[in-house]
Amino acid sequence: LIGDPEIIILDEPTVGLDPIQLVEIRELIRSLRDDHDVILSSHIMGEITAVCDYIIIIAYGRVVAEGTLEELENSRGAERLSVTAKKCETSAETLKEILSGSPSVMSCDVSENGGQLIFKIREWAGSDAREEVFGIFSHLNTPILEMKREGTSLESLFINLTSAPAPSDDADAASEAANQKRKAKKFAVKPSLGSPYLDGEETEEAEETEKNKDKGAPDADTYKPLFSDDGADKSAEEYTRDKNKKGE
């Protein structure tokens, strides 16, 4: 924090702290969000829900869910309502059938535990079936012992998503192929860095090679001057001619 960074990355920042320190650190993290982007990594769901605005869940190196806390808790598309009622004259199946016909109810399951009936009701997203459920049980003289809403908690969502089997090799290969395709598209106009030449060197060398290829084997006049016996600079042809004249 001393350098006033734009992005702050925190990994399990509250591990080992006592309750008072925990509260202080959470307040500090919340105060940083106004001037910094804070990325917090943690397996403690209470810590995430206390300080994070946006949540990303990763399993096996892949993002399996992301969104605000409310979006993630409602990601299953329905709320759950648990109703415990006293077993009376109306049968469990009859109650289940009547509840399933309620406009706010998506589905209903029932089980028996001693003298009690336990109903697990799934409501349509955005619906509240509690008033309708109460009316139905009251009309059928079936006392409700307990009624509570069981939304999808972040902890249960995390467990469900991260406890799934690891992706298959085929899925990994498909994912890698898709990643490579995205990278290729992203860097399609990026200049190649494979050439060992500086700018212009490759062209100059190619032109020089082409010239030498056209020349073929060099003749005598193309050689550099050699030193004759008397120290004068002569071409190879002159040097050979003079030696022939001398009979050497």
Residue 234 CB partners (closer than 8 Å, separation 6+): 225, 226, 228, 242
Provide the pLDDT confidence category of residue 36 given band limits of 50, 70 and 90. very high
Q: Is the pLDDT of residue 76 over 70?
A: no
By percentage, how much of the chain surpasses pLDDT 90? 27
* Single-letter residue type at 25: I
Is the Cβ–Cβ distance between 100 and 110 less than 8 Å?
A: no
Contact 53, 33 (CB under 8 A): yes
High-pLDDT (> 70) share of the chain, %: 65
Q: How far apart are CA 228 and CA 224, in angstroms?
A: 13
pTM reported for the whole predicted model: 0.45
d(CA 104, CA 97): 14
pLDDT tens by residue, 104-157: 888 899 998 888 999 998 888 778 889 999 999 999 999 999 998 776 678 878
For 45-71, write each residue's pLDDT tens digit: 888 888 999 999 999 889 988 998 888
Q: What separation, in Å, do the N-terminal and C-terminal C-alpha atoms of the chain show? A: 91
Average pLDDT of the residues in 87-93:
88
More confident residue, 74 or 128: 128
* Mean pLDDT, residues 2-31: 91
- Residue 35: closest CA among 8, 68, 69, 67: 8
* Cβ-Cβ contacts under 8 Å for 226 (sequence gap 6 or more): 233, 234, 235, 236, 239
What is the widest separation between alpha-carbon atoms in the chain? 141
Assess whether pLDDT exceeds 60 at residue 194: no
> For 153-180, what is each residue's pLDDT tens digit?
788 788 878 876 776 666 666 667 767 7
**Distance from CA of residue 174 to its chain's centroid?**
15
- DSSP character string of 80-91: EEEEEEE--SS-
